[in-house]
């Protein structure tokens, strides 16, 4: 069965680093789980484990509330440089 696996086995990045808590102000660590348009990346793509995905989700939603990360990026209200703060 193992031979049939199409994709590379993914590991939870946060488990490897033994992260217990994700700070919503630390945008560099959140960026890993965000898409280009600041959507939360699904677990099947990032390989995060369920526990860490839940932590990440809460952190991202908090960051959105405090205007650190945009809710959406679209053509109507263009953010000049959305990654300025994140990088």
Nearer to other proteins, 41 or 68 (CB): 68
Binding mask 23-62 for other proteins (x = CB under 8 A): xxx------------------------------------x
Taking CB under 8 A as the rule, does residue 68 contact other proteins?
Answer: yes
Q: Within 13 Å of residue 83, how many CA atoms lie on the same side as its CB?
A: 8
Q: How far is the CB of 10 from other proteins (least distance, A)?
A: 24
Cβ-based burial of 62 (10 A; exposed 0-12, middle 13-18, buried ≥19): middle
Contact indicator for 33, 46 with CB cutoff of 8 Å: yes
């Amino acid at each position: 069965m193992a031979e049939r696996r199409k994709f590379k086995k993914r590991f939870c990045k946060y488990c490897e680093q033994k992260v217990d808590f994700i700070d919503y102000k630390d945008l560099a660590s959140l960026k890993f789980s965000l898409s280009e348009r600041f959507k939360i990346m699904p677990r099947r793509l990032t390989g995060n484990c369920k526990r860490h995905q839940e932590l990440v989700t809460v952190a991202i939603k908090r960051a959105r509330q405090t205007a650190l990360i945009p809710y959406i990026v679209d053509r109507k209200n263009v953010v000049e440089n959305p990654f300025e703060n994140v990088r």
